Amino acid sequence: MPKPIEIDQKNQMNSLYKELCFLIEKSKQKTIMQAKSAVNMLFWQIGKRINDEILNNKRAEYGAQIISKLADKLSSEYGRSFELRNLRRMMQFADGFPDKKIVSTLSTQLTCNYMYS
C-alpha cells in the first residue's frame, strides 16, 4: 500500500511544480511586456520633449548642437540607448505619432504581439 501513496505524492508534486512553473513564466512574460511598453513610452516622451523644446521654440538653427550635447550627456549617464542616432529616432517617433493615447495603445499592442508571436 505505501507505493501507491508515494506515486500519488510524486504525481501531485509534479503537477504542482508544473503549475508553479507556468505561473512564474506567465509573470515573467507580463513583467517583460510592461517594461517594454514603459520603455516605448519613455522614448516617445523624450522625443516629444526634445521636439517641443527645440523645434517648436524656433531653436532649430542650433538645435543640432543641443541634441548632440544631450546625447553625449545622456549616453554617458544611461548608456547607448541615448546616443545621438537614437535621440533622433525618438524625435521621429514622437513626430510621427503626436497623440500620447495612440502611442500608449500602439506600444501595448506591439509588445503583446511580440510576446505572443
Domain ranges of the chain: 44-117
pLDDT tens for each residue of 65-99: 889 999 999 999 999 999 999 999 999 999 999 89
Per-residue CA distances from 36 to 52, 73, 108 (Å): 24, 23, 9
- As a whole number of angstroms, the distance between CA 10 and CA 47 comes to 55
Q: What is the pTM of this model?
A: 0.75
Q: Give CA angle at 35 (70, 94), nearest 5°.
A: 45
pLDDT tens for each residue of 29-63: 999 988 988 999 999 999 999 999 887 666 666 78
